[in-house]
Amino acid sequence: MSVDVLIPETTDAAVEAFGDGTDITVIAGGTIVMQLLNYRRITVSKAMLLNKAGLSYLRQSDSTWTVGAMTPLSDLLGMFSPLGACAANVADHEVQYQATIGGNLCAPTPPEHPSGDLQGPLIALGATVRSVGAGGERTDGVEEFLASRAGRLVLDISFETPQAGAFAALDRPHTRHFTALAVSGVKSGDTVRLAATGVGPVGVRLLSAEAAAGDPEAAGNAALADAVLRDDALASAWYRERTLPSLVARVLNEIKEAS
């Protein structure tokens, strides 16, 4: 069971080695793939480690931020809400040093749980994802990317500094790699964008709640129309149904206060 492991030392080399993504397992921080390997859930014939590929960077130009795919969550902790607050809510310090924003966007959906907590704030921020793969380089909105991420290698993610933002999540009795339910909100101009994780296989934009954003309570109830609720080991659909509205309302109230 020999494995071909590539460790490209430039971004160009990583892009070339990735090709169209066929039969290659990308390891960013390792916090997802290593669990699967430890439990012998996947077999890997060719793997690429990105730790030397020059993809860890956080650039700011005026109000535009560009974050390299290999940027660890620990580098995002001081950022504005909902992104900074969400990063701080992921697992614990050790995992935050290792886990990356690119890996989080590509987190697979296990049979039960949605994972990839950062998908929520990035959808709310209206971020764009620059990726390569079959057909070359592409820049998509986060939702488009999530719908077509197979065979893509994330290079970086861009977004604007929001006017105001907020994040609310279910409390956890102990640290977890992903959160049972979390809501992110971002205000820009007169509109508020809302997104949630834990209510579908990937992060979900809460369009119905956005339409009712003027009334936080009504928006909370409207959010249920955007969610596909399931039971898993962390929370039942019943529990999620009762907590999603209050998290949405909390986020909207916080944004109101902040702006």
Partner 1 sequence: MKVVGARLPRYDGVGHVTGQTQYVDDVRVQGMLWAKALRSPVHHAKITHLDTAKAEAMSGVHAVVTWRDVPLLEYGHLSALGIPADEPLLAKDTVRYMGQPIALVAADDEDTAQAAVNAIEVKFEELPTLFDVRNAFDEGAPKIHQWGNWYPHFEGDMDRRQIRKGNIEDAFDRADKIISGVYRPAAIEHVPLETQVSLVVPEPDGRLTIYSCTQALYFSLAVVAAHLEVPMNRIKIVGGTVGGGFGGKVDTATETLTALAAMKANRPVKWRWTREEEFLVSSTRAPWHMEIIDAVTEDGWILGRKMLTLHDSGAYARFSPYGLTKHSFHHTGAYTIPNLHFDGYVVFTNRTPTTAMRGFGVTSISFAVETHLSRIADELGLDPYEVRLKNANRINDTSPNRIRYTDPSSVEVIQALSEAAGGELAPAYAGATRAPREGEMLPEHLIGQLKTEGH
Partner 2 sequence: MNIVLNGVTVAIKSPPLASLLTVLREELNVTSTKVGCEQGGCGACTALVNGKPQRTCLTPIAAVDGASVTTVEGLGDSDHLTAVQQSFVNHYAAQCGFCTPAMIIAATAYLEGNGSSDREEIEEALKGHTCRCTGYQKIVSAVAAAVAETTFDLTVTTPSPNTVIKSGGQT
Select from 149, 152, 177, 250 the one that contacts partner 2 (CB under 8 A).
Answer: 177
Residue with the two structure tokens 């508020």 = 192
91's contact among partner 1, partner 2, none, with CB below 5 to 8 A by partner kind, is partner 2
40's contact among partner 1, partner 2, none, with CB below 5 to 8 A by partner kind, is partner 1
C-alpha distances out from residue 182 to 117, 147, 194, 228, Å: 8, 20, 11, 14
Q: How far is the CB of 74 from partner 2 (least distance, A)?
A: 8
Q: Pick from 32, 118, 51: which is nearest to 79 by CA?
A: 118
Looking only at residues 26 through 85 of this chain, which bind partner 1 when binding is defined by CB under 8 A?
39-40
CB-wise, 39 or 171, nearer to partner 1? 39
Look up residue 190 and give its DSSP letter.
T
Q: How far, in whole angstroms, is CA 257 from its chain's centroid?
A: 26
174 binds partner 1 (CB under 8 A): no
93 binds partner 2 (CB under 8 A): yes
> Would you list the DSSP string of 13-66?
HHHHHHTT-TT-EEESSSTTHHHHHHTT----SEEEE-TTSS---EEEETTEEE
Q: Pick from 188, 209, 198: which is nearest to 127 by CA?
A: 188
Residue with the two structure tokens 């020059």 = 54
CB-wise, 3 or 225, nearer to partner 2? 3
158 binds partner 2 (CB under 8 A): no
Select from 13, 17, 44, 77 the one that contacts partner 2 (CB under 8 A).
Answer: 44
Looking only at residues 4 through 43 of this chain, which bind partner 2 when binding is defined by CB under 8 A?
5, 7, 27, 29-31, 34-35, 37-39
134's contact among partner 1, partner 2, none, with CB below 5 to 8 A by partner kind, is none
Q: How far is the CB of 3 from partner 1 (least distance, A)?
A: 11
Number of chain positions touching partner 2 (CB under 8 A): 28
130's contact among partner 2, partner 1, none, with CB below 5 to 8 A by partner kind, is none
* Helix, coil or strand: residue 146: helix
Residue with the two structure tokens 């101009």 = 189
Burial letters for 48-69: b for 16+ Cβ neighbours within 10 Å, e otherwise? bbbeebebbeeeeeeeebbbbb
The site for partner 2 (CB under 8 A) is made up of 2-3, 5, 7, 27, 29-31, 34-35, 37-39, 44, 47, 49, 51, 91-95, 97-98, 174-177
